């Protein structure tokens, strides 16, 4: 009844929401307009929207009335920004200057040499110069570069105006509140976060508005949607990761005309702050001067259509109300059949929650203390379980480490609760897989000549954890699956290395990635946009990762696209390399991106010191690759261009090969063609143990079984395929391969010399046809098999990365005496399936290319006006 009388619906602070949540919000607006109140109007409020015109057009389509955009520059008094770099900096400078010769002898660049001569230059490069001095042997004790911010906050607690200090955790906010209260008393200072009950928070806000409180300390709750009033100062105890969040926090001050001045105070306290300032204060200024991240609102987002369609289809008789577009989408996703929702569709509706695509109940998180007592912490999201809470991962919000997962044997990979314990050697040694990682950690520390303490390294920011996930993206819009693949500890040394790039000094610790041999649990699915790009077999995976990271940085700095809007992964299956690209939350950006325009922007882009910092923040493995190349960005640009060229080529081929349907013969033995292909998957980092499959397709049936290759050589599984090839050659068949040189290298890697010799002999006799040669003549370049299939419109039911996905779900470890048998049983069928799909693709590609070549010859012979040059 209330909704039916609703005239105006206000959507406030829409920049707070992710692309997926925004899509659901827009779908709700349409549903309310259609089903509840046909006169409903909308008001959208935000300070961060970069494309209001597009949203205005969408709202006009929804409610049929004109939409007005009201904008303008907000009132704001003069603001002064301070960065707290330390105390007694001139004294620090004098101490460091005394070691000038040692520092320069270490190999420091011109920038450090100039800072040792000029105090003004030193102030702009404090952390860089100090770290260079420490690398030369200076004892950092007594420099006092990281003073306790509670002294500063205590002074602000006595000011006339209100100060809000933002921290990066609840624990830090409470700690600072206690310290400040000890100095000035508890009357003028309070903490504000979601663990404080709602009524107490309301009283704190009211007391601040009326002048009773002068200092509020909050991790995040005061950054959005709450107007305190007379706020004159924002203190950032550590910078947020995104500029949008920084600006949102900054927007809390100066909101009254009577406020004559405002201040921004930045107190470095996290690795992000220090990494930024190690590049000099100019890097900080560049970061603060970046354009705002765009709020990605795409009215054509298919997630809007999906939400509306599922809503209708779950109402009695609602399937009849589906539009043709909605019906087509549900059918393509397997959610609708014979005018009713399938089990897939029903599950999708149950999981379609606002903040994640998962059951509404989260995963329970239990904190186990040293004395054995346990308490429940806040639930974690199902996607966070996959990405951040695997066994061996640090729980940063409780300063603990995940040590156990609980799941029902009948529930597959579904985890119901996790245990988090203290970060200590005593705890880690109780668990076999964590004990192995701990031993490796201690060995690395010994090699570095440093004392071991996992807790000390964690609290100092030298140890953190990452989950390497394998993502199976859809092609276009569809279901994506994210699986935790393996867990890494990322360890940084206390001692520092010095690099000089074009006279600029880069001081950085050593890094070591320590794999944690724990089983992974959980899987996250949702509907989104994605694509899979096959790279060249010779491409370096670490350079592909670096190239994609550079692309992500360029999209942020030049196009304003937020980090995390588009993510990527590099997957290796045997000799084949794939770049998986997807949107973690459906925004519809991949469909709209101008890949050619982005390719040109990347080509013309010149990375700077801020990009080094951004790279280190978003992808440490890519940063390590950049370090290995001496901070030379040229390989990154080269590999970024290679992947973008693949995406550009897809659009170009669609435009230049519009020949419609191509009629080809039905595959048959009568065609006397035999496709041969193979794949393998390495079970260990050294590729000593492999699961492989060599297959043959004669036009009617696929033959070939999975086998094992060990350091002693391959087993006999491939002999069947080799024997079939011999028989088919004797029967007058022609062998068709895709990229024969690459296939011969694969046989080399598998130790199959006899089969290699047989194929080389057949090639010499003219009995082998390399399909990639024919493809290259039409396309203009040699494409990997997956890209060639896509270019010529051949659909596949499975992708090679399915092998890696199957392996990530297989707990076959060398500690198990039967691990090779288990690996063959579980991974082998997937390798066979992918190889069979490759064989059919090669066979069909050969037939399609033969017909295309005939068509092109006919066009050239006729001299017709529709003649097309090869692309």
| CA–CA distance, 190 with 201 (Å, rounded to integer) | 10
Residues 651 and 595 sit within 8 Å (Cβ to Cβ): yes
* DSSP code for 784: P
Residues 408 and 414 sit within 8 Å (Cβ to Cβ): yes
Write phi, then psi, for 489 (nearest 5 degrees). Answer: -95, 130
| CA–CA distance, 290 with 560 (Å, rounded to integer) | 9
Contacts of 630 (CB under 8 A, 6+ apart): 499, 501
Cross-sheet strand order for the sheet of 262-267: 79-83, 262-267, 231-237, 162-166, 215-218, 189-191
Task: Out of 32-41, 300-309, 391-400, 554-563, pick the least confident.
Answer: 32-41
Query: Residue 869: which pLDDT band, with cuts at 50, 70 and 90?
Result: very low
pLDDT of residue 71: 87
H or E stretch covering 415: strand 415-422
Place of tokens 């880069």: 506
Sign of the Cα torsion 329, 334, 340, 346 reads negative
Residue 545, token pair as written in the block: 């990762």
Residue 214, token pair as written in the block: 């002068």
Cβ neighbour number for residue 648 with a 10 Å cutoff: 18
| Cα-based torsion angle of the residue sequence 743, 745, 751, 753 in order, rounded to the nearest 10 degrees | 80
Query: Tens digit of pLDDT for each residue in 768-803?
Result: 999 999 999 888 889 999 999 988 888 888 888 888
Query: Tens digit of pLDDT for each residue in 95-137?
Result: 899 888 988 888 888 999 999 999 999 999 999 999 888 888 8
| CA–CA distance, 384 with 136 (Å, rounded to integer) | 41
Question: Can you give the three-state secondary structure of 272-292, one letter per residue?
Answer: HHHHHHHCCHHHHHHHHCCCC
Pick the most confident of 149-158, 324-333, 790-799: 324-333
Task: Out of 14-18, 64-68, 429-433, 643-647, pick the least confident.
Answer: 14-18
Burial class (CB in 10 A: 0-12, 13-18, 19+), 759: buried
Beta-bridge mates of residue 45: 12
| CA–CA distance, 244 with 223 (Å, rounded to integer) | 11
Task: Out of 81-85, 157-161, 575-579, 630-634, pick the least confident.
Answer: 157-161
Cβ neighbour number for residue 838 with a 10 Å cutoff: 27
Report the SS3 class of residue 229: coil
Length of the chain measured in residues: 871
Sign of the Cα torsion 451, 396, 186, 269 reads positive
Query: Tens digit of pLDDT for each residue in 208-222?
Result: 888 888 999 998 777
Query: Residue 658: which pLDDT band, with cuts at 50, 70 and 90?
Result: very low
pLDDT of residue 816: 66
* pLDDT(831) > 80: yes
Query: Tens digit of pLDDT for each residue in 19-59?
Result: 999 999 999 999 999 888 888 899 998 877 777 888 888 88
H or E stretch covering 562: none
Side-chain half-sphere CA neighbours of 96 within 13 A? 34
Residues 459 and 794 sit within 8 Å (Cβ to Cβ): no
Report the SS3 class of residue 536: coil
Contacts of 613 (CB under 8 A, 6+ apart): 275, 276, 278, 279, 283, 287
Side-chain half-sphere CA neighbours of 417 within 13 A? 11
Closest of 662, 670, 677, 668 to residue 701, by C-alpha: 668
In the chain, the largest separation of any two C-alpha atoms, in whole Å, equals 96
Residue 143, token pair as written in the block: 């420099």
Beta-bridge mates of residue 406: 417
pLDDT of residue 161: 87
| CA–CA distance, 644 with 551 (Å, rounded to integer) | 9
Side-chain half-sphere CA neighbours of 820 within 13 A? 12
| CA–CA distance, 73 with 68 (Å, rounded to integer) | 17
| CA–CA distance, 508 with 506 (Å, rounded to integer) | 6
Closest of 588, 691, 605, 649 to residue 776, by C-alpha: 649
Residues 454 and 425 sit within 8 Å (Cβ to Cβ): yes
C-alpha triplet 84, 85, 86: angle, nearest 5°: 95
Beta-bridge mates of residue 340: 337
The domains found in the chain, sorted by start residue, are: 3-73+297-351 (no CATH), 85-135 (no CATH), 147-288 (3.40.50.300), 532-656 (no CATH), 669-862 (no CATH)
Query: Residue 205: which pLDDT band, with cuts at 50, 70 and 90?
Result: confident
Contacts of 569 (CB under 8 A, 6+ apart): 469, 470, 471, 579, 580
Burial class (CB in 10 A: 0-12, 13-18, 19+), 204: buried
| CA–CA distance, 201 with 199 (Å, rounded to integer) | 5
Write phi, then psi, for 752 (nearest 5 degrees). Answer: -100, 70
* DSSP code for 17: S
The pTM score is 0.88
Query: Residue 657: which pLDDT band, with cuts at 50, 70 and 90?
Result: low
Report the SS3 class of residue 15: helix
User: Burial code of 17-26, b = ≥16 C-beta within 10 A, e = fewer?
Assistant: bbbbbbbbbb
pLDDT of residue 593: 92
Side-chain half-sphere CA neighbours of 504 within 13 A? 15
Residue 735, token pair as written in the block: 């062998």
* DSSP code for 66: -
Beta-bridge mates of residue 163: 215, 233
Beta-bridge mates of residue 74: none
pLDDT of residue 870: 38
Q: What angle in degrees, to the nearest 10, is found between the helix axes of 89-97 and 126-135?
A: 40
* DSSP code for 194: T
Residues 13 and 245 sit within 8 Å (Cβ to Cβ): no
* DSSP code for 361: S
Write phi, then psi, for 144 (nearest 5 degrees). Answer: 55, 45
Burial class (CB in 10 A: 0-12, 13-18, 19+), 763: middle
pLDDT of residue 815: 61
Residue 505, token pair as written in the block: 């000094």
| CA–CA distance, 361 with 382 (Å, rounded to integer) | 9
Query: Tens digit of pLDDT for each residue in 367-406?
Result: 999 888 999 998 999 999 999 999 999 998 889 999 999 9
Cβ neighbour number for residue 431 with a 10 Å cutoff: 18
* pLDDT(743) > 90: yes
pLDDT of residue 501: 84
Average pLDDT value for residue range 618-635: 91
């Amino acid at each position: 009844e209330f909704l039916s009388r609703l005239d105006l619906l206000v959507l406030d602070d829409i920049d707070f929401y992710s692309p997926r949540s925004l899509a659901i919000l827009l779908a709700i607006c349409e549903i309310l307009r259609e089903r509840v109140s046909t006169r409903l109007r909308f008001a959208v409020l935000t300070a961060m929207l970069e494309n209001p015109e597009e949203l205005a057009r969408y709202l006009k389509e929804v409610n049929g009335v004109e939409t007005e955009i009201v904008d303008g520059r907000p009132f704001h008094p003069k603001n002064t920004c301070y960065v707290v770099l330390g105390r007694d900096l001139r004294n620090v400078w004098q101490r460091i200057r005394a070691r000038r010769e040692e520092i320069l002898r270490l190999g420091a660049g011109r920038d450090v040499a100039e800072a040792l001569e000029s105090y003004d230059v030193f102030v702009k490069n404090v952390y860089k110069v100090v770290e260079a001095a420490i690398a030369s042997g200076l004892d950092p004790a007594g420099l006092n570069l990281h003073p306790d911010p509670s002294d500063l906050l205590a002074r602000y607690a006595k000011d006339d105006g209100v100060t809000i200090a933002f921290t990066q955790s609840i624990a830090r906010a409470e700690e600072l509140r206690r310290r400040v209260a000890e100095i000035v008393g508890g009357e003028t200072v309070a903490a504000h976060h979601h663990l404080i009950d709602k009524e107490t928070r309301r009283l704190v806000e009211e007391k601040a508005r009326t002048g009773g409180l002068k200092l509020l300390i909050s991790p995040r709750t005061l950054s959005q949607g709450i107007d305190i009033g007379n706020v004159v100062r924002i203190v950032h105890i550590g910078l947020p990761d995104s500029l949008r969040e920084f600006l949102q926090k900054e927007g809390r001050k100066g909101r009254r005309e009577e406020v004559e001045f405002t201040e921004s105070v930045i107190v470095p306290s996290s690795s992000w702050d220090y990494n930024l300032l190690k590049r000099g204060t100019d890097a900080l200024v560049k970061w603060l001067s970046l354009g705002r991240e765009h709020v990605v609102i795409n009215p054509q987002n298919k997630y809007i259509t999906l939400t509306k369609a599922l809503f209708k289809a779950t109402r009695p008789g609602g399937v009849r109300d589906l539009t043709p577009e909605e019906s087509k989408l549900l059918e393509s996703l397997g959610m609708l059949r014979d005018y009713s929702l399938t089990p897939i569709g029903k599950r999708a509706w149950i999981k379609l929650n606002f903040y994640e695509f998962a059951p509404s109940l989260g995963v329970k998180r239990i904190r186990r203390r040293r004395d054995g007592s346990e308490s429940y912490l806040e639930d974690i999201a199902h996607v966070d379980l996959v990405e951040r809470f695997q066994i061996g991962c640090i729980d940063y919000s409780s300063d603990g480490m995940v040590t156990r997962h609980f799941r029902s044997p009948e529930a597959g990979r579904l985890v119901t609760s996790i245990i988090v314990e203290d970060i200590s050697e005593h705890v880690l040694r109780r668990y076999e897989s964590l004990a192995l990682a701990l031993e490796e950690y201690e060995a690395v520390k010994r090699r570095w000549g440093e004392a071991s303490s996992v807790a000390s390294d964690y609290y100092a920011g030298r140890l953190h954890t990452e989950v390497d996930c394998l993502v199976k993206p859809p092609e276009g819009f569809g279901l994506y699956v994210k699986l935790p693949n393996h867990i890494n500890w990322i360890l940084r040394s206390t001692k520092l290395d010095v690099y000089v790039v074009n006279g600029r000094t880069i001081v950085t610790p050593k890094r070591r990635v320590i794999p944690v041999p724990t089983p992974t649990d959980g899987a996250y699915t949702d509907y989104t946009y994605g694509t899979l790009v096959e790279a060249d077999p010779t491409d370096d995976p670490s350079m592909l990762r670096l190239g994609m990271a550079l692309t992500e940085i360029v999209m942020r700095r030049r196009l304003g696209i937020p980090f995390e809007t588009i993510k990527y992964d590099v997957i290796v299956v045997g000799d084949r390399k794939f770049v998986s690209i997807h949107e973690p939350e459906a925004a519809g950006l991949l469909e709209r991106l101008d890949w050619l325009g982005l390719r040109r922007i990347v080509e013309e882009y010149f990375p700077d010191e801020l990009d080094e910092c951004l790279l280190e923040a978003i992808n440490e493995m890519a940063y390590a690759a950049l370090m290995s190349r001496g901070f030379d960005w040229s390989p990154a640009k080269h590999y970024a261009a290679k992947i973008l060229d693949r995406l550009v080529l897809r659009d170009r081929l669609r435009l230049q090969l519009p020949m419609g349907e191509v009629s080809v013969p039905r595959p048959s033995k009568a065609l006397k063609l035999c496709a041969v292909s193979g794949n393998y998957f390495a079970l260990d980092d050294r590729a000593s143990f492999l699961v492989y499959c060599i297959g043959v397709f004669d036009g009617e049936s696929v033959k070939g079984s999975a086998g094992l290759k060990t350091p002693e050589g391959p087993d006999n599984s491939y002999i069947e395929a080799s024997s079939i090839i011999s028989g088919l050659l004797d029967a007058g068949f022609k062998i068709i391969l895709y990229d024969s040189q690459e296939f011969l290298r694969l046989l080399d890697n598998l130790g199959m010399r006899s089969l290699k010799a047989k194929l080389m002999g057949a090639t010499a006799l003219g009995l082998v046809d390399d399909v990639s040669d024919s493809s290259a003549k039409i396309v203009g370049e040699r494409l990997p098999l997956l890209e060639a299939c896509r270019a010529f419109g051949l659909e596949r039911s499975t992708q090679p990365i399915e092998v890696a996905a199957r392996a990530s779900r297989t707990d076959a470890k060398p500690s198990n005496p039967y691990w090779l048998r288990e690996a063959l049983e579980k991974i082998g069928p997937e390798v066979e399936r992918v190889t069979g799909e490759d064989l059919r693709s090669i066979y069909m590609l050969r037939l399609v290319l033969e017909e295309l070549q005939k068509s092109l010859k006919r066009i050239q012979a006729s001299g017709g006006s529709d003649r097309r040059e090869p692309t």
